[in-house]
């Protein structure tokens, strides 16, 4: 990783910390192509821990423990994520909604359409997905992801639209948010807002109060300018609520205050 990337990661981490203040580490995510070396300092769970970690679980560990993680075919035991990230080829059962009928869909037709809409990489295109806190990443990421509450995500959306306007458009299937965070963002090359899925809540410990903002690495300069520009324009987090008008006290409080004023007048 060259110095320019390291400096941009540092600037981004500081800007998110100042303007957004998320409860967990904002993340850098990179897909490794076949033959590409695993970056320094990353744990491969099947090798270093003798455990199998799925993608959403790895994201959860990275953003809460502060670890750098790399997971690939030998790690990921979630068949849906393994297929989505191209670690395994889809079979006919998968394509016809075997994993979704009776759980997410009423019948095979609905389940087939659900799987057809899932974001996927081509099989074999990548060997690993790498994830680490921005401040500790030893690689140039493809995607930046921030788990945050809705007000903090709104802050990031405002920043993302600062230079060019428009809208942020995202799709969701209510599951496989790992694919929506990484694959959707990479394939569309645009910022996204993602709803954590059931698996992320169970295995990645995503909370009911959390959403995800994701953007491509190439978008970071715009995001940095947007965070600073919207801050100067008065868009802040925590939200500066209206607290400056004169409030109305309960009737008994008003009467007591009048008594206090009358007593002071009588003494003067």
Give tens-digit pLDDT for 76-125: 999 999 999 999 999 999 999 999 999 999 999 999 999 999 999 999 99
Report the distance separating Cα 207 and Cα 108, nearest Å: 31
Range of the domain at 70: 3-267
pLDDT tens per residue across span 109-167? 999 999 999 999 999 999 999 999 999 999 999 999 999 999 999 999 999 999 999 99
How many helices, marked H, and strands, marked E, lie in the chain?
Answer: 11, 6
Q: Is 38 helix (H, G, I), strand (E, B) or coil?
A: coil
DSSP bridge partners of 261: none
pTM for the model stands at: 0.92
Q: Measured between alpha carbons, how far is 42 from 30 in angstroms, rounded to an integer?
A: 12
Contacts of residue 90, defined as CB under 8 A and 6 or more positions apart, other chains included, come to 83, 120, 123
- And the tokens for 206? 């995503």
Place of tokens 């942020």: 168
Tell me the β-bridge partners of 105: 101
Domain count, the chain: 1
């Amino acid at each position: 990783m060259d110095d320019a990337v390291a400096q941009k990661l540092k600037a981004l981490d500081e800007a998110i910390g100042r303007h957004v203040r998320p409860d967990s580490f904002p993340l850098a995510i990179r897909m490794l192509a076949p033959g590409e070396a695993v970056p320094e300092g990353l744990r491969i769970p099947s090798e270093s821990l003798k455990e199998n970690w799925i993608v959403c679980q790895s994201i959860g560990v990275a953003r809460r423990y502060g670890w750098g993680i790399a997971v690939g075919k030998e790690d990921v035991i979630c068949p849906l994520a393994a297929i989505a990230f191209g670690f395994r080829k889809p079979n006919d059962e998968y394509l016809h909604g075997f994993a979704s009928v009776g759980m997410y869909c009423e019948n095979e037709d609905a389940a087939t359409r659900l799987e057809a809409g899932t974001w996927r990489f081509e099989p074999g295109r990548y060997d690993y997905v790498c994830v680490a806190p921005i401040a500790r990443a030893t690689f140039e990421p493809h995607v930046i992801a921030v788990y945050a509450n809705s007000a903090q995500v709104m802050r990031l959306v405002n920043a993302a639209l600062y230079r060019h306007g428009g809208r942020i458009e995202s799709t969701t299937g209510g599951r496989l948010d790992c694919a929506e965070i990484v694959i959707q963002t990479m394939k569309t090359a645009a910022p996204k807002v993602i709803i954590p899925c059931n698996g992320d809540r169970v295995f990645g410990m995503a909370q009911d109060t959390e959403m995800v903002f994701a953007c491509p690495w190439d978008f970071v300069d715009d995001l940095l300018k947007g965070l600073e520009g919207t801050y100067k324009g008065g868009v802040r987090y925590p939200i500066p609520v209206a607290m400056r008008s004169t409030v109305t006290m309960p009737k008994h409080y008003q009467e007591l205050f009048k008594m206090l004023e009358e007593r002071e007048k009588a003494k003067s």
